[in-house]
Structure 1
Amino acid sequence: MKRSFSIVMGVALLALLVPVHAQERSGTLVVALSSDPTSLFLPRAADRTATNASLPLYDSLVWINDDLEVVPALAERWEISDDGTEYVFHLRRDVTFHNGEPFTAESVVATWETGSDSSNDYSNFYTAANLVEAIDDYTVRITTPEPIATFLTSVALSWGMVPPEYIREVGIDAFARRPVGTGPFRFVSRAAGDRVVMEANPDYWQPDMPMVAGLEFRVIPDASTRMAAIQTGEIHIANRLTPDQAMALEGAAGVEIVSYLNDRAYYVGFKNVGAGAGTPLEDPRVRQALNYGSDRFGIIAAVFAGQAEPIPGFVIEGNLGYDEALMQPFPYDPERAMELLAEAGYPDGFEISMGCPADGYVNINEVCLALQRTLGQIGVEVNVEFRTTNSFWSEAEYGAVGAMFVDSWSSTIGEALPRLDGALMPGNFYTAWHDDRFAERISAIERTVDRGERAALYVEMHELMYEEPPFIYLYQPTIFEAVSDRVQGYLPRAAEEYFLGRVSLD
């Protein structure tokens, strides 16, 4: 059986779920991870795998439902000032952390303070606020220096509340090793490179969640091993399968295939800092040449059996502002690529290094090697540096690898802003291309509350990023997952997010 999902889906199915009380919880849900989580502390969860493994431990003030609406969570209600820079949240009074600490306004302050620490990968999600104040035990005020159109969405998906006494006592590093939140599951143990074990939170403030007694994330980097494990019943959810593997599993006993278009842009990043400074990449003609010389269409056909879409930039299908008529991918044109290289002073090409997160994404090793071959045909000799995922994402500005790197960036909000901000705003952990023109336009998008005006700004941003590309734009894949037919209520979203509190086992 095959189940396909769009970006917004599943509300009717959720309505059919019957509440399960604590005494009825049974079974341990086992979910495969394609890489070892970099951290279980959300501000340090470097990629989607790490985020998905962290989210069951935490709650935020607000939540994004399946209609992409902001709804109450640990905050029962809130008010926003007329100028859009002040948020006052009124908190629930019946919530405790896994270690017994009460959830109060001081918890929100501590979450902001620790999340803003410069050692974190995503401190920018927290430093977007310049002040967080406890008005009383159950009222908190958050102030931003200017209006931020997607601020509540960012809070919903990034501000996992932490217990102030515990995190201040042990520090961020120790907290990340034994995390504590208010979420539907609580941490039990972690064996690096092997598994993360959690158990149901018996005191969860939503009494019908979770619906299983235990949750285990199993680290299985090899997709064929994940495929075998779902067939033997060792795991219940196998993610990031190749199209061929999904096809091979069609009709397999006890297994269902889930597929959906991923809101994730795969790209080759250029660096004009660190190892990229002073390289040919600083010439926009070279960056355009590398886009013309990358056969993204051939890669999609050969590596993904056609189950991906070429992307024109960072604003992709399903995003606010996307216009297929205006936004076309670079054509594969090696002759034009060589002309541009000659104009830039490199008629014989050049040599350059490119980092690759080994096994970090579906078929990513093959993609890196295919890029090496196709760019070699225009005279650019690419030295591929394979790194483990933890090494690849370990340093600011991709400092662990050379002048180029292969990566991807998802968005959970139906807009390109999170990937634009994360990849191009100077000062962010993973920004390796600095250009004030990009930063100014991203700031304008963040400040613009009107969706129509914001859509127009995305078009302008796309046009600049096409003329002055900071990346080689590659593809947007279709995601394939295999799910045991014992699993009920599993509804992944377009950015590969999944929330397991309402998932049960037959």
Structure 2
Amino acid sequence: MVAVATEPSTLDPQLVNDRSSRIVTDNVFETLLVRDGSAQIQPKLADSYERVDDTTWRFVLHPGVTFHDGSPLDADAVVFSIERIIDPEFDTQRTSYTEGIAGAKKVDDRTVDILTDGKNPVLPAEMTSIPMVSPASAQQQSFGHEVVVGTGPYTFKSWQRGREIQLERHDGYWAEKPSIPAFTVRVVPDAQTALSALQAGEVDLVFDLFPEQSALAPQVKEVQASDFSYVAFNTYKKELSDPRVRRAMNLAVDKESLAKTIYQGHASPNQAQHLAKGMLGFSPGLAPFPYDPEQAKRLLAEAGYPDGFDLELHVPIGRYSKGEESADFVAAALDAVGVHTKVVKHDWNDYRTLGRVKGTEQDAFDLKYGWNSNEWFDAARIKSHITCEGASSKFCNKSVDQLVDAGANTFDQADRQRDYEQMWATLHDDPYSIYLLQQHYIFGTSKRLVWDPRPDDAYFVSTMKLTS
């Protein structure tokens, strides 16, 4: 039994991507490639792959794999899955996972070419993030209700809305079968109720354990995550259009104090970039913006706001560990330098939709608190948040776009590293967000659960065992 704080809006793995849905979809659906526990890309539904030319990658599928409905995982199914997720009419919220993919073409029953609209050095990483779906079931358009069909080790059994989702082991699974025969994902919005259920042995795993709860759990698992918390600016708003204002707002927030107080040391200030050491594009020359409220006030005055101005900061309820408290902390810090900030809290599914309103539109958020995951371990993952036409972006700097394009249009990793370091340097002078923390995932588990969490926020129940 797994407890999650927010209920998925859908179980269609190609439509949305959040933790509460992934604990289900990671186990029902599979991808052509997958990352192992040390984050290295490995074959999954594809036995092998190669780059044929600058715009073509060829994948050879594992033989004999079938979906839970009995249909084959063949080239036609892969082409369907790729074409479905990139179709603008499908309107996926996973556009950052499909950047540069132009389509797919069948070579033979077991061979597929993935086509790109130019050089795409992160195509293998993208293939770890695009689940394959059964064409027959997908065309019924019933995902999230009764029909959820993949190739994975578990099959969907039932969904009691507002309460729980049940899955059971697929006896016809093509690879090694998991040891846990079935599991349930229970929706428990209240953190104390979730902890009590864990203590009572009613659940085996609780996501996003609060730092102060860690001493009370039967067992705690923690991993430095590939998630980075931030507050995104709507730079189309007049008051936020000046980079000096945005640098001032970075200087106004004491990230060290946020990590030590709200997270009790279970997080650390990120180095003004949504990367960590070891990820491609990480810039070792950058450091967190220092806490300097007096300099923040001077910059605001230079920009023409000696008396500050009013903003709203939007945050989802229950989605991010200590998210609401972090938003309140940031708002108080901004208030202290004259940027009067009202925190507005939303249901997660409402926030996810409202947060994508373009910065040029009337109802766009001024400020948006969130976590950005980088399960690719590559700076290319940030593209949709920082480019002029990015689906999640309310920021535009043509120099940033040029550096993003340069990093995306070469297969030379040293050149990509250089381009992305320059990109982050530009985003330091012209910030798209308040850079906050590199998060840690804190999980509460039962004593009987044997499992090691992953930094990429994937949840494979097949890697878990119960001792009794």
TM-score by length of 1: 0.86
Cα deviation for residue 323 of structure 1 reads 4.6
Give the SS at the match of 2:445: strand
1:147 offset after TM fit, Å? Answer: 2.1
- Secondary structure of the structure 1 residue equivalent to 2:143: helix
Would the alpha carbon gap of residues 125 and 501 (structure 1) be closer, same or farther in structure 2, given more than 3 Å must change?
A: same
Match runs of 1:77-476 below 5 Å: 77-81=48-52, 83-118=53-88, 119-126=91-98, 128-156=100-128, 158-168=129-139, 170-171=140-141, 174-177=142-145, 178-206=147-175, 208-249=176-217, 255-272=218-235, 277-318=236-277, 319-324=279-284, 326-395=285-354, 397-398=356-357, 402-418=365-381, 420-476=382-438
- 1:42 counterpart residue number: 13
Aligned AA for 1:192?
A: R
CA–CA distance in 2 between the matches of 1:166 and 1:390? Answer: 24
Deviation of residue 146 (structure 1)?
1.9
Distance 1:224 1:448 in 2: 49
Aligned-residue offset at 1:78: 2.6
**Residues 396 and 402 (structure 1 numbering): CA distance in 2 closer, same or farther, change over 3 Å?**
closer
Q: CA RMSD in A?
A: 2.0
> In terms of mean alpha carbon deviation, does 193-202 or 385-394 score higher?
193-202
Are residue 494 (structure 1) and residue 462 (structure 2) matched? no
Deviation at 1:244, TM superposition (A): 1.6
Cα 1:373–1:126 change in 2 (3 A) is: closer
User: Secondary structure of the residue that 2:231 maps to in structure 1?
Assistant: strand
3-state DSSP of counterpart to 2:353 = coil
Shift of 1:33: 1.6
- CA spacing shift, 1:84–1:494, aligned 2, 3 Å: same
C-alpha deviation, 1:124, in angstroms: 4.7
Among the aligned pairs, what percent are the same residue?
27
Larger CA deviation: 422-431 vs 348-357: 422-431
Deviation track 1:86-141 (CA, whole Å, cap 9, x = no partner) reads 12222223111111112111101110121113311013534622131112222211
Contact between 1:288 and 1:469, CA under 8 Å: does it hold in 2?
Answer: yes
Question: SS state of the match for residue 397, structure 1?
Answer: coil
Q: What is the number of equivalent residue pairs in this alignment?
A: 459
Deviations 1:461-484 (A, max 9, x none): 111111000100111122221222
> Could you tell me which residue of structure 2 aligns to residue 505 of structure 1?
466
Residue 56 of structure 1: aligned partner: 27
Residue 425 of structure 1 deviates from its aligned partner by: 3.3
Unaligned runs of 5+ in 1: 1-29, 250-254
Work out the CA distance in 2 between the residues paired with 1:165 and 1:238: 34
CA distance in 1, matches of 2:374, 2:444: 23
Determine if contact 1:397/1:432 at 8 Å carries over to the other structure: no
Superposed displacement of residue 398, structure 1: 4.5
Q: Following the alignment from structure 2 to structure 1, what is the Cα–Cα distance between the partners of residues 49 and 264?
A: 48
Q: Which amino acid counterpart does residue 101 of structure 1 have in structure 2?
A: S
- Runs of at least 5 residues in structure 2 that lack an aligned partner in the other structure: none
- CA distance in structure 2 between the partners assigned to 1:124 and 1:311 by the alignment: 21
Aligned residue for 2:370, secondary structure, equals strand
- Taking structure 2 as the reference length, the TM-score comes to 0.93
Distance 2:338 2:7 in 1: 36
